[in-house]
């Protein structure tokens, strides 16, 4: 049983169904092929940023949007090998085959300092909107990727 697959399944269940208790979530996970104990489920929920909140339909587990960012930071920090810049562009080196995924995340930031990105297999070129914003953009990208 893979932790990533289990957590993906938890995310699917919580996103698509109104689940209000650990017991109900455990039952749905077991139905999906994951027999987890209370402690493991609690750790997963904390790690994933899922908490129980009151809604008009009753209590429900919900995913904290900020927690998605924390998970993205940890994934990106494994995939990005180096960030360099010159006077006009930022170059990000990634693991082989990961540049497109990392560039997609960078594009989703919708930073006002980014004109665009171009991704190859393991290299991303990030064009700043203006050369005067290059330092700020490089700092923003490093912070986003490292989670700092």
Write the pLDDT tens digit of every residue in 62-112.
876 555 545 555 667 778 899 999 999 999 999 999 898 888 888 877 889
pLDDT at position 16: 82
The answer to whether residues 95 and 64 touch, using CB atoms and an 8 Å cutoff, is no
pTM over 0.75: no
Distance CA(10)–CA(25), nearest Å, equals: 8
Q: Which of 47, 38, 37, 35 is nearest to 7 (CA)?
A: 47
Average pLDDT on 45-71 reads 74
For the packed helices 3-16 and 22-31, what is the interaxial angle rounded to 10 degrees? 120
Identify which has the larger pLDDT, 14 or 127: 127
What are the φ/ψ torsions at residue 143 (nearest 5 degrees)?
A: -65, -40
Q: Which of 3, 11, 144, 139 is nearest to 80 (CA)?
A: 144
* Range with the largest mean pLDDT of 4-13, 17-26, 51-60: 17-26
Residue 55 binned pLDDT confidence (cut-offs 50, 70, 90): confident
pLDDT at position 70: 52
Residue 128 binned pLDDT confidence (cut-offs 50, 70, 90): very high
Long-range interactions of 59-68: CB distance < 8 A, separation 24+ = 59/20, 59/21, 60/18, 60/19, 60/20, 61/14, 61/19, 61/20, 61/25, 62/14, 63/11, 63/14, 63/15
Distance CA(41)–CA(86), nearest Å, equals: 46
The rounded mean pLDDT for the chain is 85
- pLDDT tens digits, residue range 15-28? 888 898 989 999 99
Domains of the chain: 3-63 (1.10.10.10), 67-146 (3.30.1360.40)
């Amino acid at each position: 049983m893979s932790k990533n697959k289990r957590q993906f399944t938890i995310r699917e269940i919580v996103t698509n169904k109104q689940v209000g208790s650990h017991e109900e979530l455990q039952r749905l996970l077991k139905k999906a092929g994951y027999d987890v104990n209370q402690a493991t489920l609690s750790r997963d929920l904390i790690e994933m940023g899922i908490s129980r909140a009151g809604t008009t339909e009753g209590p429900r587990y919900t995913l904290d949007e900020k927690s998605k960012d924390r998970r993205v930071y940890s994934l990106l920090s494994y995939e990005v090998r180096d960030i360099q810049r010159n006077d006009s562009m930022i170059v990000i080196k990634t693991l082989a085959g990961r540049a497109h995924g990392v560039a997609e995340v960078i594009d989703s930031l919708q930073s006002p300092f980014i004109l665009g990105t171009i991704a190859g297999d393991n290299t991303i070129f990030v064009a700043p909107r203006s050369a005067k914003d290059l330092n700020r953009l490089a700092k923003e990208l490093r912070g986003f990727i490292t989670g700092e």
